[in-house]
Structure formats: structure tokens, C-alpha cells
Amino acid sequence: MKQNNLRFISRYKEAIHLSAVAILLALSWALRQFFTLPELVTNYLALAATISGGYPIAVKAIKALRERELIIDTLVTIAAVAAVAIGDYGEAGFVIFILLLGEFLEGVTVAKTSQAIKGLASLIPDTVKIRRGSEEVEIATAAIKIGDLIVVRPGEHIAIDGVIVRGEGAIDQALVTGESTPVERSAGDKVYSGTILATGALEIEATNVGEDTTVAKIEQMITEARTRKAPLERIVDRFAKYFVPAVLVFAVIVYLLTFDIRRAITILIVACPCALVLGTPTAVVAAIGAAARKGILIKGGRALEAAGKITTVIFDKTGTLTNGLLKVVEVKPICAEHDEKNVVELTAIAEKLSEHPLAKAILEKVAEWEYIVASPDDFTVKQGQGVEVRNNDLHIVVGNRSLLAENNIALSEEIEAYMQGREERGETVLIVAHSTEDCLGSGNGQDKNKDCCAKAVCGVISLADTIKADAKATLQILRNRKKRTKIALFTGDNARTASSIAAELKINVVAAELLPADKTRKVEELIAAGEKTAMVGDGINDAPALATADLGIAMGTLGSDITVQASDVTILHDDLASVPQVLDLGRKAVWVIRENIFFALLFNSGMIGLAALGLISMVIAAIFHQISSLIVILNSMRLLVMRKRS
Ligand code: ADP
Ligand code: MG
């Protein structure tokens, strides 16, 4: 809120400044015209307008000069001083006024864009009600501490991230994720700052406050995004650096050839590469703003440009193409002393601390019979393979074949055949093994204690996932894009499960049984083959691949921040359709940037030509110059309207 006020005040000041300059100019002109006051007086008024309007520009120019830099303001300052020197007071004042007016209009339009982005923070209420015993007290949002109980009523914004302890309600997450249907939440569910309670009543225990809330993190990402320049912008900046001195030299040459100082001044005014310099950043900000409103966070111009050039999109399977909401469909005990329940309970101990969707499915299963899961000692995640834990003197290993092989545990032909049968249906099969200490992980277990190891596999659990409802349609959109896009599936799951899913989704490039490092290597291979790659993943076991791809897209990240670091684009919700949207937005942004640069160069050089030939006056030059900047800005604004497809 405070920030908004400050911005408003500064805009207000600019407007007053602008009006003051305008009044001085108008007075000077009117007095000469209607009251035929001596020129001396009217000239003084125009000079006052020039100085008061031009002062901040000159200060900037001088500051830059101290750093041995020639900037656009340098050209304007020289032009104004020269115009005054030859007695064109009125013209000098008018040129300065036009430049200020242009800047003001630019400020207003750019502020509009920023607002599209910055809308979130202003929605966080300044105060909240918290429960203290039986009382409800109102405190400042900034004063909320972790563990406080926040009371939220319908229509109110949720100010912090937390867990519902009492009540239930429908939460509108549209402002954060862009998803328009409210989601039902009740005790035990997580809620996020920036969302709105549509119906119901909630008491929420604060888990993240201040800088750690979802909204604060989103804001921080967007702020950072705007400082990361696009490669195209860097090129333009470098160009502008040489452009300004070149214009100065050109103006001097024209003067020496024509002895027409007005022509030289006109060149200085018209040549300012403002439109050129504005072309990229305005487009980037508009595109990032459009995406942010849909719950898509793009980490700056580089990411945006990369998105525009993608030729291959690689998907992770679990949690990305599938819902990641796995269900246990069959439990098969292998050894005599365990029944189905035992097998799942052992597995639950091993998976208790894991974040993997598979682990969640197991824990959900035991929750059905209210089994209290013991906390394991020594929990080890084998990325892309499974988990290993110790519980008292028991070693439990849960994972895939490669993890079992690493532990020297053999699978009987019978189990293998059973597993293959399940996998062909697209299910993921977990092998659960346990043993006493000397048997497992001893490198050569089989010789040491044959009996124990023969019994090591105690069961297998088959889990089924469902393909996301929008997966098929999204892949079709990608295939039908104007820029043909190839699709690949990289997964840590086994080849049969992967092929079954790939067949259903008609993906023909499939690589399975990949460890995180293999995924990365595979991405590198594609890059080496000349593909521009986008990797779409949920960040579990695929963060390195996200970081390696030309564009890393992390999905479904609301409430988890593991992947945000590694990715270039973060999609807060689970909507796969955002993937083609991001690519199209990138493509469109690259086009708009190119249009802007092309237009600015053409317009600038055309105007320089006219000025050199003495065909336009200083005032016309100033007006045209501003118009070109505004055209570029308006062109960029087109990106704010993000269409579904382009
Ligand atoms: P994906 O590439 O499909 O997202 P992951 O790389 O996350 O798959 O996992 C690959 C395989 O590793 C899984 O199919 C499973 O067999 C095994 N695995 C990974 N994490 C676990 C876990 N926590 N418990 C058991 N198995 C696991
Ligand atoms: Mg995964």
C-alpha cells in the first residue's frame, strides 16, 4: 500500500513539474502574441521553462559525463543549450516540454504494466485477526509470528502461508495460480498467501510469514526477473553506446557542411535512440506481467527469449504428465512371515520422510487403517532409485530393480514375471526388501548369509497413476504449433511403465530408468544435436535436468521451493496447458522485440535523414521522436493480452 502511495506522489510531482513548464511556455507565447510585450520578457519566460524543465536532464547528462559516458540526455542537453545560444528560446523550451511529456506518458503506461505484476502484494491485508485463547484480536500483518492462529472470514484475503486447524471452505487461488475454480480445503490442508476465502470460515496456523510467504517469494522472483536482461537487450544497449557519439559526430559534420546550426540541433533531437532502448525492456515486462497473472513466473528476458526458440519439449512422467496422485492397487507378499498389511507398514516406515509421490501413496494407504508409522533412523534417498532406512536392527530397502541390484538382492523369475505383467499396464512396482544389518548393503551379502538374503524381498507393491486430463490435448497443441515442436518423455520409472504411458499419449521418443544424472546427460545430448530444449518437471529427481535444459519449466510448485532455483519458468498450478502458452508467449515476445528494434532503427534513420536535409524543424523533430517511443511502448503492451494460442 505504502509503495503505491509513493508511486502516486512521484507521478503527481512529475505532473506538476510538467504543468509548470507548460504554463511558462504558454505565458511566454501568449504575452508576445496578444500583448506584444518586448521579446526580452517573453524570452526570459521561455528560458525559465527550458531551465526548469531541462535541469533534471542536464544533471543526468553531467553525471554520465563524469563516468565518461555519453547518453541520450547528453544529446538533449547539448541541443537545448545550442538552441538557447542562438536565441531560439521558445523552441528550446518546447522541445524540452515535449520530451518531458513523452517521458510522463511512458511512465504512466509502464506503471500500468508493473501494476499487472505487482497486484499481488497490495492484496495482502494490512491487519489480520488472530485467536488468543477465546478472544479474537486484530494485529498488523507484519507482526504475525509462526504458530499464530489466524481467523479468516469469507471474502478475506489470506495473508500468510499456513495449515488449516479448524473449519473448511472454498479457496479462490486465481490471483496466485490463475486457476479460476475455487478449491475445497479443510483441516490439515495447506493454504497460501494471496488467495481468497470464497466461502466458509477458517482458522489457520501460520507456517510461513513475512519474506517466506508465497506472495513475497513471487514478488521477489518478479523483481529479479526485471533486472535480468535479455540477450537482445544487451546487444541494443551496446549499440546505443556507440550510437550517441556517432550522432554527435554526424551533427558536427552536417554543421560544418551547411553552417546551419538549427539542422545540427534537429539531428541531435531526432536521433536519440529512445525507442530503440525501450523496445526490449517494455516487451519483457509486459510479457512477464501477462504470464504472472496466469500463475506463470518467468525469470526474466533470457528465459523469455529461450522460450521463443524451443524445438523439443521433454516431459518428466510422474507428477508432470501424470497427476502424481498414485494409488496402491495391489500388494503381493513374497515371504511367508508377512501379510499384505505388514508389507505396506514396513514400506511406510521407509517412506515416512520421503517427498516422492510414491511415498505419499504408501502413507495414504496406511493412514486408512490408522497405523502409526515409526520414524526411521538413518534415512537415505537414492535419487531415481528409492529409499533405504534403518529401523532398530532392521534395514528396509524400497525401490526399483537397480536399487535392489545395488544391494545384491536377487529377484526370483516368478517375481520378475509378475512385475512385468503389472508394468505393462502402466503401473509402477515397488520392491520392498528387508534384512538384518549384516545382510543388506554389505556388498557381498549373498555369500555371507544365504538364508537371510533369500528371504530379503518381502513383497512388491503395485501403484497406479492417472494421466492428467489435459495431457493429450496439450501435447496435440504442441505438435500443431506453427513452430513444430518435438516431444520426448524422460523418466526414472521402468521402461514398460514408461512405454505404456507414452503409447497412450503418442509420444515416440522415450527414455526410461534414468537416474537424475542420466536425465541431465540425455538433455545434453539433445542440445548437442542442435535442439533447443525445454524440460518440464516437478522438480523431484529432475532439478539438474531442469537446470541443464535451455528452458527449465517447473510445474505444480505452489508451496514447494525446491525447484524454483533450478528452473527458468515456474508454473504455480498443475495445468499442463501453460507449457504451450509459455512457448507461444516467448515467441510472440521475440517478435515484438524484433518489430520494435526494426521500427526504431528505420524511423530514427529516416528522421535523421530528413533533419540533415533541413526538412523538419526542431519542434517537429521532438514530437516525432516522442511518437516513435510511444509506438514502441504500445506495441509491447500487446503482449499484456496473453492469448491461449497464437
Ligand atoms: P519420474 O522420472 O517418473 O518422475 P523418479 O525419477 O522420481 O521418476 O523415480 C524413478 C523411480 O525411482 C521410480 O519409478 C521408483 O521406482 C524409484 N523411486 C524414486 N523415489 C522413490 C521412493 N521414494 N520410494 C520408492 N521408489 C522410489
Ligand atoms: Mg518426477
Pocket test for ligand 1, best of 430, 523, 555 (most atoms within 8 A of CB): 430
Write down the pLDDT at residue 70: 81
How far apart CA 124 and CA 219 sit, in angstroms, is: 12
Average pLDDT over residues 481-494: 90
Query: Comparing C-alpha atoms, which of 315, 296, 300, 48 is closest to residue 179?
Result: 296
DSSP run (H or E) holding 289: helix 274-292
Are 152 and 162 a contacting pair, CB within 8 Å? no
- pLDDT, tens digit (0-9, with 9 covering 90-100), for 558-599: 755 545 667 899 888 888 999 999 999 999 999 999 999 999
The residues that are catalytic are 316
- pLDDT, tens digit (0-9, with 9 covering 90-100), for 140-151: 988 999 999 999
Torsion of CA 571, 572, 577, 578, to 10 degrees: -40
Query: Comparing C-alpha atoms, which of 412, 384, 381 is closest to residue 397?
Result: 381
Average pLDDT over residues 52-75: 88
- pLDDT, tens digit (0-9, with 9 covering 90-100), for 421-457: 999 998 999 999 987 555 444 444 444 444 444 447 8
Write down the pLDDT at residue 645: 40
Interior angle at CA 202, CA 135 and CA 139, nearest 5: 45
Q: Whose alpha carbon is nearest atom 13 of ligand 1?
A: 493
Q: Whose alpha carbon is nearest atom 10 of ligand 1?
A: 492
Write down the pLDDT at residue 39: 77
pLDDT band at 37 (very low <50, low <70, confident <90, very high): confident
Model confidence, pTM: 0.81
How far apart CA 515 and CA 527 sit, in angstroms, is: 19
Ligand in closest contact with the CA of 358: 1
Residue 316 Cα to ligand 2 midpoint, Å, equals 6
Q: What is the DSSP letter of 471?
A: H
Pocket test for ligand 1, best of 355, 385, 536 (most atoms within 8 A of CB): 385
pLDDT at 477 exceeding the cut of 80: yes
Least confident stretch, 208-222, 302-316, 359-373, 624-638: 208-222
DSSP run (H or E) holding 351: helix 340-351
Residue of 226 and 43 predicted with greater confidence: 43
Average pLDDT over residues 254-280: 89
Write down the pLDDT at residue 444: 43
Residue of 635 and 226 predicted with greater confidence: 635
Q: Whose alpha carbon is nearest atom 16 of ligand 1?
A: 400
- pLDDT, tens digit (0-9, with 9 covering 90-100), for 165-192: 999 999 988 777 777 678 899 898 888 8
pLDDT at 238 exceeding the cut of 90: no
Pocket test for ligand 1, best of 398, 493, 505 (most atoms within 8 A of CB): 493
Percent of the chain with pLDDT over 70: 91
Residue 513 Cα to ligand 1 midpoint, Å, equals 9
Write down the pLDDT at residue 104: 84
How far apart CA 17 and CA 537 sit, in angstroms, is: 51
Is residue 83 in contact with ligand 1, taking CB distance under 6 Å? no
Residue of 318 and 530 predicted with greater confidence: 530
User: Quick one: which atom of ligand 1 is closest to the CA of 537?
Assistant: 4
- pLDDT, tens digit (0-9, with 9 covering 90-100), for 591-629: 999 999 999 999 989 999 999 999 999 889 989 988 998
The average confidence (pLDDT) of the chain is: 86
- pLDDT, tens digit (0-9, with 9 covering 90-100), for 2-15: 444 555 566 788 88
Average pLDDT over residues 221-247: 78
Write down the pLDDT at residue 509: 94
Write down the pLDDT at residue 181: 77
